[in-house]
Amino acid sequence: MVAVEIPTLVLPNSSSEQRVPVVGMGSAPDFTCKKDTKEAIIEAIKQGYRHFDTAAAYGSEQALGEALKEAVELGLVSRQDLFVTSKLWVTDNHPHLVVSALRKSLRTLQLEYLDLYLIHWPISSQPGKFSFPIEVEDLLPFDVKGVWEAMEECQKLGLTRAIGVSNFSVKKLQNLLSVATIRPVVNQVEMNLAWQQKKLREFCNENGIVITAFSPLRKGASKGPNEVMENDMLKEIAEAHGKTIAQVCLRWLYEQGVTFVPKSYDKGRMNQNLQIFDWKLTQEDHHKISEIYQNRLINGPTKPQLNDLWDDEI
């Protein structure tokens, strides 16, 4: 199998015109064993993947680190060719804990630096008390200015090449931009054909922030039928192009100018997710896609849900 050359995007807010591969490999938590994760990542590198997304809370940093180390030792890839993202969990979302949390992630990943470090959620909870979902009574005030200054310090120390956020609404991004010296380069959010994030996309474009879409195929929660993968209209579009529904979804995201991190450990599907660069959706396809009913899949990490997490943005 010939490795696919994945296009890259410049991160406009990065200090050195840093580039990110548009397709990454997600490694959000599930019940696959570390061995499966490691084998899948080595396979992904062979297929052309260079962008890998993890988080302290996923439990996949160790397996990802071992796989990347092995891939470098085998000569499959050099560290400079990789783009590795991890995320600060809410228990460490406090100014005095950020740098040590990143150092811990780096030790687990066996890396000297990250390419991108993200604030996972715009909330803070009791240090040291990991639970998921997060109990609302464990929440503490989120000091966005103090935490962001500590994120900036991480970049100045060379522990990460760039910093960003995840799950931030327009309002929360505005608050952050008002106190930031170094601007966030990425906002990683749920984005898919049934949650297209038009308002957030426009704001991010205007402010040089690249969106990374998680759950790009609307997977990641068991809430009944998948409004994307089981959509008859999308099935027709896919058939007209001789593609799968998943490929239509990812091509649409690519045409919106965002990056995305599908998660598949299946060799065939990993490859299919890269077969999206040599064809285009039509104007009519785009019109039909714009009419898909919109609703958020991932409502938040707390129990019960927070009323103001998304600031009622659609």
Reply yes or no on whether 58 is catalytic.
Answer: yes
Dig out the tokens for 55 from the structure.
């988080």
Helix (H, G, I), strand (E, B) or coil at 67: helix
Sign of CA dihedral 2, 38, 114, 259: positive
Contact 93, 142 (CB under 8 A): yes
Contact 100, 69 (CB under 8 A): no
Q: Residue 114: which region, alpha, beta or left (left: phi > 0; alpha: psi -120 to 50)?
A: beta
Contact 117, 85 (CB under 8 A): yes
Cα(219)–Cα(261) distance, integer angstroms: 12
Cα(174)–Cα(287) distance, integer angstroms: 30
Which residues, at least 6 apart from 228, have a Cβ–Cβ distance to it below 8 Å?
192, 193, 194, 217, 218, 234, 245, 249, 292
Cis peptide before 29 (omega within 30 of 0): no
Longest CA–CA separation in the chain, Å: 54
Residue of 49, 58, 117, 254 with catalytic role: 58
- Sequence-ordered strand ranges (E) for 30-146: 51-53, 83-88, 116-119, 124-125, 134-135, 139-140
Which residues, at least 6 apart from 23, have a Cβ–Cβ distance to it below 8 Å?
6, 49, 51, 250, 259, 260, 261, 262, 273, 274, 276
Nearest residue to 291 via CA among 246, 223, 227, 244: 227
Give me the active site residues, please.
58
